[in-house]
Amino acid sequence: MPQRWDFPDGAVTVHARLSVNTAEAALDAATAGLGVTRLLSYQAEQAVEAGRLKIALEAFEAAPMPVHMLHGGQGQLPLKLRAFLDFAAPRLKTRLVRLGEVTRGKKSGGRE
């Protein structure tokens, strides 16, 4: 079944010989040399850093999207949710900064 891959300047129809339904399976297939896949940067980060996977079509990547943590409830924030946000927010910020540095390093030729 053909899939459509959207890029900032248009779309491409892809006729895959292998179709999987998890990012982990796509990552495993790509690192095994079975073809090209589309993953989010954090999903491919370790494989790229370890040299098991290379970024292709990097010039066509979409701009990074902001990450937000939202709470739709009324009134006071539940203590469990407050504890989670206090735990997750600094870790998420650190990880996003690190991903940005990895991407900028690759684009500037700092890593191959």
User: What's the confidence (pLDDT) of residue 106?
Assistant: 54
The reported pTM is: 0.65
Distance CA 34, CA 31 (A): 7
- Give the pLDDT of the chain (112 residues) as one tens digit per residue: 678 988 888 899 999 889 999 999 999 999 999 999 999 888 998 999 899 999 998 888 877 777 777 877 778 888 998 899 999 989 888 887 877 766 666 544 443 3
Residue extents of the structural domains in the chain: 1-63, 66-112
User: What's the confidence (pLDDT) of residue 112?
Assistant: 36
Long-range (24+ apart) CB contacts under 8 A made by 26-32 are 27/53
